[in-house]
Each structure stands twice: as structure tokens, then as C-alpha cells.
Amino acid sequence: MQSPVSRAKRFGLAGIAFLVFLVFVGANWAASLLIQYSWWQEVGQVKTWLDLYAYSTLPVAAAAIVAWVALLVAHSRGLHFAGGRVGDYPIYSRLSSLVLLGVAFVVSDANIDGWNLLRFAGSRTLSTPATYQDPIFGQPASFYLFDLPFYSDLRGYLFVLVLVTILVYWVTARGWQLRFVLPEIPKEGFDLSILHLPGGLESAFLRFAGAFLLIAVASGYYLGRFKMVWNQHRFMTGIDYTDDHFRLPLYWVVIGAMLLGSVLVLAKRWMVAGALAGASLLLVAIVPPIAGSLLVKPNEISLERPYITNHIAATRAAWGLADPVKEIQVQTNPNASIDVVKNATLLDNVRLWDWRPFHDTVTQMQALRPYYAFHDTDVDRYTIDGQYRQVMLSPRELDITQLPGTQSSWINPHFIYTHGYGLVFAEVSKLTPEGQPVYLIQDMPPTVKPKSLKVERPELYYGELQQEPVFVETAQQEFNYPQGSENALSRYSGKGGFPASSLVTRLAASLHFGDWNILLTGYLTDKSRMMIHRRVRERLQTMAPYLTWDNDPYLVLSPEGRMVWFVDGYTTSESHPFSRMSNAFGGINYIRNSVKATIDAYDGTTHLYVFDAKDPILGAYRALFPELYEDAAKMPEALRTHARYPEDLFRAQSEIYRVYHMKNPQAFYNNEDIWELSRYSSGNGEPRPVSPTYVFATLPGETKPEFLLMTTFTPLSKENMIGVMLARCDGPHLGQIVVLEMSKQELILGPMQINARINQDQSISKDLTLWNQQGSQVLQGQTLVLPVDDNFVYISPLYLQATQARMPQLKKVVLAVGNRLIYTDSYEEALAILGGSTKPGAKPEPGAPPVMNAAVTAPTDPRVEAARKHFQKYREFAAQGKWADAGRELDAIQAEINK
């Protein structure tokens, strides 16, 4: 037996160890808090951080306190029932209180969704009129987005809390009754009857708890009536005929039975209350399925028609496919000629470079060092020397994992290799004679060709691949870019990061990142700053964790020469009534692209701009975090022109629209007209669905081409094109969706059919077979489909690359219109043939406009000489982009020909 002194030493050591543990945990918590505060101070959003911290902890804390009080009361009443008093056992009282506090926290944390509560609170300030009301209960969408989730959480919390209080009461009462008998149970054997609490059902506490439990069940069925708008049926979501005519009325029966049962429980009529509740639940379980089988199923379409209509309308509204969508029935003329001059701006911006070959090419040609990476390629539009042009650009980011010796050197990733450098920038339709992109911006330091573009700050401290933390303005110069056998070095001169020179901050950073080198390094100076949250999506996720952020940030080069990241933010919900659930974005049935964020790639300056002020969910968040958001009008106009419709949203919407373009409930019920995304052949493997593509096109009824996001549809299991979905990106039209629907009486070729024609063409097939040998491989880019006048133009680029080196070259262009298939070495030649000015096989001069044939030579004929002069002027005007003047010269040429 241990002596009292030994026990004291043991408990003393345990106490010291526990105290050290608490100090360690507390120090780490304080360090993390200091680093977070410093960063939020850097971005100017300390109040937002405090609000986030409070909102994420206070709801659960408040619920835990309420639950703790309820459990303490249950414990006290149970002890009193067993003949004991809490005050008689002080040690037991303290321990049981701590245990009950832990139970209360678990109950609260498991049943309280803080964001549901916050959205409910924020929505109280909304004044925007409802844009949707459910047709059964007449409730606005906001009721289902905010109120119902909150009330459901509250009811669930109270229901579980009552169950736990009953359990605590029973365990306490029966446990204290058996406290002297428990040691004998193993000897005598366990009998379930020992769990019986004699007189328990007579106690006032259990009767009131039982009555409250039945009221909670009744409230659950009352709220369950509204939750039926989320019911999943074979062909629709929401309330169907059986729900409306059988299940809803029977829910009222259950509600009445539960309320009456609560009164009976208070009157000590437990058996009658149980029988009444059980009978009502049995009715709900049996009657609706029988009614559905015998009455509804034989007449399903006629009975379900109005409910299907509700479902279609709600789904389109929830997915942003109602009012913003303009559906146009188009009639095409496959034999119509394409006016190349009229559509010059459009046709001169055709995207010949698929992003995959472009990415592989710039990686080979412009990465320059193995530790540089072109993580992503973005498509955008710029006004370049007065011309509206579609371009592809890709930032040259630093991939620190590819830097030799990174694992052995702590200084390199934190002090020296801190940032990427520059970008490549190329027009989508221009090629070198070797089939490579024509770069407008390239190399390090950046070489900029157009006078209207400039790169003043090529350093990328914030992006998609950044390592953290990094330190700037230190005693160590930073690597800027390679310069021959030497390295160009630099020092940071921006405002990014927060001060990291003080001993307290360095100690906090060491604890927070688990890296004591931060405390011990001698490279930090009085001006040194620390940069964290440098990955743009993670940065925004930290600032607004309740939003869903797009997976594809894209880079914009501002007129001032700064690189700025754009990231689209979405509000989402799974609670919109009658709307179809999708697996997109983790499982939702409502989405809005309400926020567009910008992040300066050099100093991390971050702005969140509101682009959909009518969105009720964002309205609730703005009420909670008023300092975080800015109106879209405050975005600089030069940046606003680069806002675009996001691919992630468009992809999800197109998946919904392929089914919900059907507005006729009978057609919807029978799946008569389901579409699917068009497919194309990449020339390497199985056909793949087309990806949304940014294009220049002129919409029906419009006179100018604009920047659009496009995808195409075919009928289910067919390859002919039936629809084109386009999202507008420019100016006041941003966010509008236009759908071109083809007549079912005419056959419009889809991308896969164009690919089949290409592969079946003898001359093309011969070349493809030859190129796919001797260490080379043919890549077929995604076939572009462009609406032009009364027709569609298909463009399919063909790339050639060596099997051992991924550096594709664009070797051939296939252009199809109607029944014509044009196969040439260059896009310019294909356009010249399309315009009727060049015969297949004849190549125009390099740089010559693609619409006239220069082979009109008869010097003795004055008409030919006049036509030649007009043609020369046409070339000059076309080269300058003066298409109106060029058109007049064409008219003059035609006049000379007609003489």
C-alpha cells in the first residue's frame, strides 16, 4: 500500500503535467489568435473576423447553457426522487455538473447549425420582395431558405434535449436507488426488470417531459408538412398528388393525436396516449402508399400534371433558368453563304487554340525553368490597339515543389523563392508559320508587343500555387527571374503582408506554423512582413467561408499593368421548394453567382463585389457582415469589363437545362425530349462531352459580336445538334442566358458528326494516318460551333506533337459550313475559300486578308488594274481593322468586275 506521501507526489506530478498541457494548449490558441488578428488587420476586416468568431461560437454556446440548465434540473429532480440531495455530496455534485456540461455541449453542437441561425437572423432585415412563392402553401422562397431550416434545427434540438433529460432523470433516480445493490448484480445475474423505475411514470417531471416530447413530435409533423416540398419522387421533386390529398391531411391527424396525447400524459393516461399516437402514425405509414397504388398510379399523368408544372417552374427559378433565359427558335439555311467581311470581327476572333495544346506548348516554350508552372490557361477579351480581341493568357507561377533542394533548405521557400513572374498572352486565332502561338506578352522580363498593353508589376505573390508563409523586406534579396547564368534579384515594395519583426509575432508564428526557424532566423528586420493565405481560393474561403468559391480563378491584366485575380463566389442552398437536387457544388438545388472577388497578385488587396443584389441569401450575409461587401458599381470600370459568366455555374445549369427545357408536363413525364451535351472526338481515345467554351459570336437580333460562354446539345443518344446555350458576358447583358433551339424538322450536324465527316474524308484521313506514325501523334481540338448569320460554322483545329515531347503545333484547320468541308494549312486560307475568293489548294500571301483572290492579273485590261488598286486599298484597310472602308473597296471591286 502506497504511503500518503507517495500519493501526494504522484498527484503533484500529474497536476504539474496537466498544468503544462494547459499552458501549451493556451499558448498555441493565443498564438493562432494573434496571427489571425494580424492577417485580418492587414485586409482591413477585423470587425468581420470578430463577427465571424462570435457567430460561429455564440449560438452553440447559448444552446449548451440552456441544455446544461435543463440537464442539471433533470439530475437534481432524479436525485430528489431517489431520496438524495445534491448538496449532500459536493464532490459528486461538481463532477456530475462537469459531465452534464459536456453532454450539453455535445447535444447542442450536434443539433444546432450556426449558419442556419445566422441566415435566419440576417434575413429579418430583408426588404426585397419575394420572387417565388410555392403554389401549395403560398410561402415565399425565403421561408424555405431561412425560416424552415432554423425552426427544424430548433425543434430537433429541443426534441433531443427532452430525450436526454428523461435519460438523465432515469439514470440518476434509478442509479441512486440501486447504489447499494449494484455490487451484488454480477453475483445474482442481470435482470432487465432491474431497470424499472418504480413510480417513475407518476412523477411530475417525467409527465411534463413526456408531454413536451409529444408536443415536439407534433411540431415536427407540422414542419414536416412544409418539408414535403423537398420530397423526392420518381419523376419530380416536391409535393405530388398523394402528398397533397392524403399525406398532408393525415399529418394533421398525427398533430392532433400528439397534442391530445400530451394532455393524456399529464393526466397519467400513458397507455391511452401511446395507443393514440401509434394509431395515427400507422395511418400515415399505410394509407398514402395504398392510395398511391390504387388511385394515383393508374391515372398518374392526369393527376400529377399540375405538380409536375410546379416542379419545372421551381427548378428553373432556383437554378437561374427562368427570367434570365431568352429562348429563340432558329431556322437555318445550310446553303446560305457566309459574309466574311460583315462578320470579320467575329471570324477573326475564332479560338483556334484548345486550352490543352496551348498549355502544353507554353509549358515547353515559356516555363524556362523547371520550377515555373503554367497552372491554368484563361480565355478573356481585351481591346488591343483599338481592336476588340479574344486572347488566352496564363500566369507563370512558382511551383516550389519542383525547386531542387527545397526539402533541405529552409531559406529558399520562405525568403528567396517567394513569387512567380509574368505571364504569356496570345491571341486565340494567330499562329506562327511553325504552328505556334503568336505571343503578345512573353519571356522574363516581360516583352510586350502591343502599345496598349503593359506589365508594371510582373511579380505574382498571390495565386494558385503559392507556398506559405513567406517573408518580404528582409535582409535576404528575393529571386526575381533567371538572367542567363545569373539570377535577377529584387526586394518587395508593396503593402502586402503584416509586420513580422517583433519577438511576440515571431514566437506566435513559430507556434502557429510549428516552425521554430521563424523565431531563430536572423534574416528578419524591423521592416519585415509575413505573407499568409496567398492562395486566392483559400484566402477567400477564410474571409467568407459560407460562400462557395469557383474552382477556376482567372487572371486579368489591368490597364495600369497590374495582374489581378478574379474569383466568382456563389450562394447555394439545398432548401429551395420543389427544385431538383444536383450533385454539383456538393449537392444543392439553388444557386446564384452573387459575388465576384478581385485579388491583386502583387499585394493581395482583396475586394468582394456584389453582382446580384436581389439574391436573398447574400442579402442575409450582407446584414451580418456589412463591411465585407461592396456594390458592383464600385469595381473599377477597367476591371469590370473583364467580369464574365463562370464556367462552373454554366456547366451545372446546362446539366439542368438539358432536361428542364421541357415545359410541357406530359413531355417531361414521358422523357420525350431529353437533351444531352454534344460530344466530340479528340482523336485520342473515347469521345468526350464538349466543355463550355468562351467564344465571340453575334446573337440573333444583335449587330455586334460579343464575348459569350457556349455549349451545345444533342437529342438523347443522337449526335445531331438540337440546341445551343449561350451566356452573355459583356456590359449590361452580363448574366443573361440565350438558348437557340433548332427545329426538329431539320437536321443540323453536331460536333461528333462533323468529326465523323473529317475522319471519313479521304485526303484528311490519309494525312491523319501518316502523322500518327513515326513517333508523332495527332490531337484534334474541341470542335467549335459558331452561329453566323443563318448558318453554323464549325472549326476543328488539328495539332501534331511528338510522342516524347508534349509541344503541339497547329498544322491543319478544318472548317465546315453546311455540306462544305474545307481542309487547309491555315485558318486564313480556309476563310478565303469560305468567302469564295480562293480555290482549295491555293494559299493567300502571309498576312493577306482572307476574302479576295489576288490572282486577277491582266495588265492590258483597265478594269483589272482598277480592281488591283482597290484590292490593295482593301488589304491596307483590313490590316488596320477598318472594316467599313474595306467593305467599300470590295464593293468597288465588284463594280469593276460587273463592267
pLDDT tens-digit profile of 197-245?
665 567 788 889 999 999 999 999 999 999 999 999 999 999 999 999 9
Model confidence at 624: pLDDT above 80: yes
Cβ 474 vs Cβ 525: under 8 Å: yes
Mean pLDDT over 265-270 rounds to 90
What's the pLDDT score for residue 396? Answer: 95
| H or E stretch at 751 | helix 751-760
What's the pLDDT score for residue 493? Answer: 94
Where is average pLDDT lowest: 260-274, 343-357, 435-449? 343-357
Nearest to 810 by CA among 765, 841, 848, 779: 779
What's the pLDDT score for residue 10? Answer: 61
**Which three cell numbers, joined as nine digits, stand for 334?**
445550310
Mean pLDDT over 381-386 rounds to 92
Model confidence at 878: pLDDT above 80: no
As to burial, measured by CB atoms within 10 angstroms (0-12 exposed, 13-18 middle, 19+ buried), residue 245 is middle
What's the pLDDT score for residue 858? Answer: 32
What's the pLDDT score for residue 12? Answer: 67
Residues above pLDDT 90, as percent of the chain: 59
Nearest to 573 by CA among 537, 543, 609, 547: 547
What's the pLDDT score for residue 733? Answer: 93
Q: Where are the beta strands (DSSP E) in 601-680?
A: 606-610, 629-631, 675-677, 679-680
Cβ 169 vs Cβ 75: under 8 Å: yes
Cβ atoms within 10 Å, residue 825: 15
Model confidence at 547: pLDDT above 80: yes
Nearest to 570 by CA among 608, 542, 600: 608
What's the pLDDT score for residue 820? Answer: 86
**Which three cell numbers, joined as nine digits, stand for 158?**
429541443
**Which three cell numbers, joined as nine digits, stand for 30?**
493565443
pTM across the whole model: 0.87
What's the pLDDT score for residue 854? Answer: 28
Model confidence at 555: pLDDT above 70: yes
- pLDDT tens across 803-849, in order? 777 788 898 899 998 888 999 988 888 888 887 655 554 444 444 44
The pLDDT mean for the chain works out to: 87
Show Cβ contacts of residue 755 under 8 Å, excluding neighbours closer than 6 positions. Answer: 680, 681, 780, 783, 796
What's the pLDDT score for residue 830? Answer: 85
Model confidence at 740: pLDDT above 90: yes
Residues above pLDDT 70, as percent of the chain: 87
Mean pLDDT over 251-263 rounds to 96
Query: Domain coordinates of the chain in residue numbers?
Result: 43-165, 199-318, 353-533, 535-643, 856-899
| H or E stretch at 817 | strand 805-817
Model confidence at 876: pLDDT above 60: no
What's the pLDDT score for residue 402? Answer: 85
- pLDDT tens across 640-674, in order? 999 999 999 999 999 999 999 999 999 999 999 99
What's the pLDDT score for residue 853? Answer: 31
Model confidence at 852: pLDDT above 50: no
Where is average pLDDT lowest: 77-81, 100-104, 819-823? 77-81
- pLDDT tens across 680-732, in order? 887 666 788 899 999 999 998 888 899 999 999 999 999 999 999 999 999 89
What's the pLDDT score for residue 477? Answer: 94
Cβ 800 vs Cβ 816: under 8 Å: no
Which residues, listed in sequence order, are joined to residue 784 by a DSSP beta bridge? 795
- pLDDT tens across 577-591, in order? 999 999 989 899 999
**CA distances, 872 to each of 74, 849, 877, 893 (Å):** 97, 10, 9, 11
